[in-house]
Structure 1
Amino acid sequence: MSLGFNLRAKQSQVFRLGQVVSVLQMTSGELDEHLAEAARDNPMFILRRRPMAGTSATDASEMATVAEAGSLYEHVARALAGLIAEGGLMERIITAFMEELEPSGWLGRAPEEIAKTLGISPELVEAALRVVQKRVEPAGLFARNLEDCLRLQLEDKGPVSDDMRRVLAALSTLEVGGIHGLVEATGLDEERVRHCLGQIRRLDPKPGSAFATDPTLAREPDVRITPRGDGWDIEYLSALHREIEIVPLPRHGQTADAREALARARALKQALDVRQSALRQVVAVLVDRQGAFFRSGASALKPMTMSEIAQKTGFHLSTVSRVLSGLLIEGPNGITVGRSLFAGTASAQTLFSKPQVQARIRALLAKEDPARPLSDRRMTALLQAEGITVSRRVVSNYRQEIGISPAAKRRLRA
């Protein structure tokens, strides 16, 4: 009798632990589906949703439909879920890749820099990157640069010719020297170069752009923060929109099935409590670290990694990553996607975040002489003189992302 009781107790403990791990790993959308399924299948578990204040039934329905669409991060997280589940070194590398994934779909840092941060060999990171690039769609995601992005898309369609590889390698000369510069750089005749360019123009240089407008921005934020002296009041809004009720067993007619259903309902409730606790701890550290950003804007954003949050909270890196997936924080400056607070420049040595660098680029261009607009190379030199170590390619990418044309086009408009 005692042995049987102990066995059931251990089985119950293992089940509860499994529920906690499962719920922690779910995105908000996956959790909603899981809860709805539990409420449908378990008579002891009741899920009620409170209507959002000031929101009509039609508005709520439309927002729920929009929220089902995934962001770029959620898209690649689903595609790579099998690899991440392997744990160990592969999970660490893929998580690092996902942290560096920019809205364009490219990696924000070179693989060798990521390898240095992780403390592992560049060969391992390169090997993992090749696996990741082949696993995700559309082709071109997690590219190192433009050449890599286009090459991946061409390889997805079939073998890449030697002519095409030469054109891709010299593609940067097109902006400066035009078609004739590309002909000279590749050693190919003009007809062959034009044929390759015709194929390239049918490709997507920024495959992540289809996900750039995060649909989660159409819904209400999960967290609202308001300044209070030197600190913050943090309000967790998502918890107000969901009520969980566990139905107690009647004194009579307690069947084995009913007891099992009650145990499962309680285990799920416990898992939800753990998830909410993880959310509160992660957000508390995040707001404390980036308080200046929420008060002053992008120029005050501090460099930060998910590993730092994991270390401070004691949660596993994958748990922190999941908590942040789709998280929306409303502060004095508007609504912020939680993961955007981790954006950084492409230099592992830099102490400046990506939004800070973009803010400096805007400031430099606002003061430029219209008759002599600043080239990307000149801006790179000016930034480096300020101690912001970034490459010309990064400056060019950031300039494009903030919607500013190259120097040649700005000069023409002037």
Structure 2
Amino acid sequence: MVARQASALAMTPELRRAIGLLKLSNSELAQELTREAASNPALAVRLPAQDTILHLWKPTSGANARPPRLQLGIGGGLAEALGVAGSPGLQEHILSELRLLLREPLDLAIGEALAQAVSPWGWLDRPIDEIAEEIRVPVPQVEAVLKRAQQIEPAGLLARDLRECLWLQAKDCGLLTPVMASVLNNLPLLAEGRLSDLARLGGTTEGEIGVQLALIRSFDPKPGLCFDPAPPPPSEPDIIVRREAGAWRVSLNRSTLPEVEINDDASQGSKERREAELLRRAVVRRNETLLHLASEIVQRQTGWLEEGPARLAPMSFASLAAALGLHETTVGRLAAGRMMATPRGTVTLRALCSASITTQDGGQISAVALRHRIAAMIEREGDAPLNDAQIVQELADVGIALARRTVAKYRGQLGIPNASIRSERAQSARA
């Protein structure tokens, strides 16, 4: 469990500035800080080192694209509402493949640790030596299991970086020629368009380098995303949540996060330096506030992380605001558009907030979990579709009192037709 980090946050000038900055994505923050630095000589901005080559790809389509797996009542409404990966998920796929590939118990334990360290796009997001230390296994043994695990489909899963992801795909397709290997070993040159330098290093022509580039563009730099039926998020996630040593770790996505520095040459006490220092503190406060919010959410939603939407806990902006010592509208602005990568897919912070419904025994259940329960009841109804009154009764039997119109509303939100239409469809399918 993550440690609760809900200390009260005073509304200082830094925090007000931080909240204004928090409306921006990390890439927008980098642009804003760069503009500020252009007019303030005391301010320096260190931009994150990103894989600039990723702009070369288009979304995967065609025969290699994985079609969404539709499930009655779950595939449309609930998964779309939460913005998370459908079933089978990426980790479940990797684990099922590893159970077929690895026979020794220790090797399988290592494989499970590797699967838990996979980001939503399919790469490992933790160093091998860190994983080895956590499970107390020598690094060479973990590397040996990783080499075997990288044989699973689709090629490119469990890669440690972009180069290895593309290397695995080229090898899988029989395209790992010496020229292709030379190009992949010098991706920064490819990103900069230095084809002549690549040709010289590979002992070939620029025309041949162009052929290799066309092949590379046919690869998928993020093969893990094919396990999510929802469109990829418009930007990289701000927060990363992963399981480590039996606990949930919440961290900022440093790969897209710019940093603010003060130029040493700036005069002490000058207006420019004061403004630069204020901005630096605001950026730090922005990041701390976002991390506090995400940690509080993860603290409350461990049931969802571990067991899925049926365990999504009731949660509101008001309750989060009380825990963080902020105004409710401020928390709403903090959560707006923020993305969080989890083992269950990439989800917005806002989507994990769900209204609370009181059960007959005084307990609480979230509206999302209730919709999931209704969908599951309908999914297993068989040849005798349940009408709304029967669903009301089944819920009442487990202590959840709902009006019939409320069940109809939730069923409609899930995109599930009424019992008579479902019965007609079932009869047509049998005919």
Scaled by the length of structure 2, what TM-score is found?
Answer: 0.49
Question: For residue 388 of structure 1, what is the aligned residue in structure 2?
Answer: 400
Question: For residue 279 of structure 1, what is the aligned residue in structure 2?
Answer: 290
Output the CA distance in 2 between the equivalents of 1:380 and 1:312.
35
**Deviations along 1:183-240, whole A, 9 cap, x unmatched?**
xxxxxxxxxxxxxxxxxxxxxxxxxxxxxx9988232211112223442122210575
Question: For residue 420 of structure 2, what is the aligned residue in structure 1?
Answer: 408
Correspondence 1:305 to 2:303: no
Question: For residue 353 of structure 1, what is the aligned residue in structure 2?
Answer: 366
Output the CA distance in 1 between the equivalents of 2:49 and 2:416.
42
Correspondence 1:23 to 2:45: no
Correspondence 1:246 to 2:262: yes
Output the CA distance in 2 between the equivalents of 1:408 and 1:385.
23
Give the secondary structure class of the aligned counterpart of 2:374. helix
Question: For residue 84 of structure 2, what is the aligned residue in structure 1?
Answer: none
Alpha-carbon shift at residue 36 of structure 1 (Å): 4.2
Question: For residue 376 of structure 1, what is the aligned residue in structure 2?
Answer: 388
Give the secondary structure class of the aligned counterpart of 1:374. coil
Correspondence 1:397 to 2:409: yes
Output the CA distance in 2 between the equivalents of 1:262 and 1:233.
35
Output the CA distance in 1 between the equivalents of 2:36 and 2:24.
15
After TM superposition, the structure 1 = structure 2 runs for residues 32-181 of structure 1, keeping only pairs within 5 Å, are 34-53=32-51, 56-58=54-56
CA contact (8 A) 1:350 1:389 kept: no
Question: For residue 367 of structure 1, what is the aligned residue in structure 2?
Answer: 380
Question: For residue 190 of structure 2, what is the aligned residue in structure 1?
Answer: none
Aligned partner of 2:251 among 235, 239, 251: 235
Aligned partner of 1:315 among 320, 326, 340: 326
Alpha-carbon shift at residue 294 of structure 1 (Å): 0.8
Deviates more, 1:43-52 or 1:335-344: 43-52
Give the secondary structure class of the aligned counterpart of 1:352. strand
Output the CA distance in 2 between the equivalents of 1:383 and 1:298.
17
Output the CA distance in 2 between the equivalents of 1:376 and 1:345.
21
Alpha-carbon shift at residue 335 of structure 1 (Å): 1.4
Question: For residue 307 of structure 2, what is the aligned residue in structure 1?
Answer: 296
Give the secondary structure class of the aligned counterpart of 2:265. coil
CA contact (8 A) 1:350 1:388 kept: no
Output the CA distance in 1 between the equivalents of 2:255 and 2:405.
43
Identity of aligned residues (%): 25
Alpha-carbon shift at residue 310 of structure 1 (Å): 2.2
Gaps of 5+ in 1: 1-15, 63-101, 104-212
CA contact (8 A) 1:298 1:356 kept: yes
Scaled by the length of structure 1, what TM-score is found?
Answer: 0.51
Output the CA distance in 2 between the equivalents of 1:227 and 1:324.
22
Output the CA distance in 2 between the equivalents of 1:41 and 1:57.
29
Output the CA distance in 2 between the equivalents of 1:241 and 1:300.
32
Cα 1:409–1:350 change in 2 (3 A) is: farther
Correspondence 1:220 to 2:236: yes
Q: Quick one: higher RCO (CA 8 Å, sep 6+), 1 or 2?
A: 2
Code of the residue aligned with 1:249 in structure 2: it is D
Alpha-carbon shift at residue 346 of structure 1 (Å): 6.5
Code of the residue aligned with 1:353 in structure 2: it is S
Alpha-carbon shift at residue 266 of structure 1 (Å): 0.9
CA contact (8 A) 1:293 1:301 kept: yes
Between Structure 1 and Structure 2, how many residues are aligned?
244
Code of the residue aligned with 2:17 in structure 1: it is S
Task: Detail structure 1 runs of 4+ shifted over 6 Å in the superposition.
Answer: 213-216, 346-350
Give the secondary structure class of the aligned counterpart of 2:365. coil
Deviates more, 1:329-338 or 1:397-406: 397-406
Output the CA distance in 2 between the equivalents of 1:246 and 1:36.
13
Alpha-carbon shift at residue 381 of structure 1 (Å): 2.9
Question: For residue 225 of structure 2, what is the aligned residue in structure 1?
Answer: none
Give the secondary structure class of the aligned counterpart of 1:390. coil
More helix by share: 1
Gaps of 5+ in 2: 1-10, 60-79, 82-228, 427-431
Output the CA distance in 2 between the equivalents of 1:352 and 1:303.
6
Output the CA distance in 2 between the equivalents of 1:28 and 1:404.
37
Q: State the superposition RMSD in angstroms.
A: 3.4
Question: For residue 145 of structure 1, what is the aligned residue in structure 2?
Answer: none
Code of the residue aligned with 1:27 in structure 2: it is K
**Deviations along 1:160-191, whole A, 9 cap, x unmatched?**
xxxxxxxxxxxxxxxxxxxxxxxxxxxxxxxx
Cα 1:233–1:347 change in 2 (3 A) is: closer
Code of the residue aligned with 2:249 in structure 1: it is D
